Structure 1
């Protein structure tokens, strides 16, 4: 009998510009990964690291939008890292895939090729569910992808700060109700924050936030106009649909 955990699906992202394999069960990438990629600033020649990359959706989407980046995909799960490597090859995107715990120390990062002050841009979608408030998934990969401890966010932000060059950028997506945690984690070493709230529709509160922070930045924090995935009638936002189809980027990606 086939183990369903090992079954794969091939899914289209960016309107078919990327075709990626991912596990049929467990954590599956969706809008969050594509929105994160669309919010990540990068230029040709930049070294870009996707921390907790999974099967590579967000990082590969950045590489599809910005040609010529030096992409590094970091993933703790060897099986997912293998899929990320296969996805990069299948889409003719050059990427260095590293099996590494984002919470590992500087020595482990340096041994994997991510020395301090060596990256221009980091993007990440850290585990964000509090196990005290959410039922832990029996699927190990799904639980690892979604569940956080009280220290998870600060440790991931610390890892990003360590590998970023001065004036490098960190872009992350997080629960909107956890904005205080994000601002606290970014308080040391980051500035020039730009915050974009993401609403499922115009009638409800935001359920995600996208934040771009600059290492050593000193500009005041900016709250950008909110992003509505659907209008009050539930009609999909045309601009968002274009971004999801790979036809544009979000304001956070602007220099």
Structure 2
């Protein structure tokens, strides 16, 4: 059993309907995870897989919104795996939590119950900071969680393509200036791509993109209306506040 550090916090998400224990320092769940969850379309009975789940934030937020999904949380860090498992139990949400490197081969995925064409929905928040422009943390685990390598996106999209059924949906969040990279990786095997830009404020450049795509579809790309975290006055945007509280979704 993995020992947990003493320094953890108990944090409320979705207006208090989801409580997560997470490390006080290092990678912590926040707005990105909740926005990703809110943009992930899932239906009762579907098999949903959260790649790079951390303490389970995004996947468990989907499970809190959609009853009856079959949820798997995939995470490489054994400490976060333990926290994710505890968080699922503490919130009364059924989830299988597996320790797995997203870059592992098909055999490792199959051994973890994630064989080809086994998932209806994959959501993921890969490490996306550009190593050339982002000063990495001396904490190795935090570095892995935040900074992308040259092959990170390719490996994660490839893994999603392998486990998704034909017609299965992928939703991911990435830094806004990496849109071209995301679209390039999705060219093989995905269509019906929809892009949502997330701005910190209406007049400021986008900081994140949320992208949804469907395996095996050929429908053209569409850009949906953007959202901003704050309104022009600097106050929290009412719609995004509702999204973060779990009373509204992001429709892609």
> Are positions 1:131 and 2:131 aligned together?
yes
Counterparts of 1:133-212 in structure 2, within 5 Å, are 133-212=133-212
Give the CA deviation at 1:5: 5.8
Equivalent runs, 1:22-61 vs 2, <5 Å: 22-61=22-61
Whole-Å Cα distance in 1 between the matches of residues 233 and 205 of structure 2? 15
Q: Deviations over 1:143-195 (max 9, x none)?
A: 11001111100110000000000000000000000000000111100000010
Moved over 2 A (4+): none
Question: CA offset at residue 57 of structure 1?
Answer: 0.2
Q: Give 1:214 deviation, angstroms.
A: 0.2
User: C-alpha separation between the residues in 2 aligned to 1:14 and 1:217?
Assistant: 32
Mapped to 1, the partners of 2:74 and 2:6 lie a distance apart of 21
Name the CA distance, whole Å, in 2 between partners of 1:130 and 1:147. 6
1:64 corresponds to: 64
Question: Which sections of structure 1, spanning at least 5 residues, go unmatched?
Answer: none
Shift of 1:51: 0.2
Unaligned segments of structure 2, at least 5 residues: none
Give the TM-score, by structure 1 length: 0.96
Cα RMSD of the aligned pairs, angstroms, is 1.0
SS in 2 for 1:240: helix
Report which stretch shifted further, 142-151 or 157-166: 142-151
Q: What SS does the corresponding residue of 1:34 show, helix, strand or coil?
A: helix
TM-score (structure 2 length as normaliser): 0.97
Partner residue of 1:117? 117
Count of paired positions: 249
- Following superposition, the deviation at residue 129 of structure 1 comes to 1.2
Q: Is the 8 A contact 1:6 1:24 kept in 2?
A: no
Residue in structure 1 matched with residue 87 of structure 2 by the alignment: 87
Q: Take 2:198 and 2:134, find their aligned partners in 1: how far apart are those partners?
A: 21
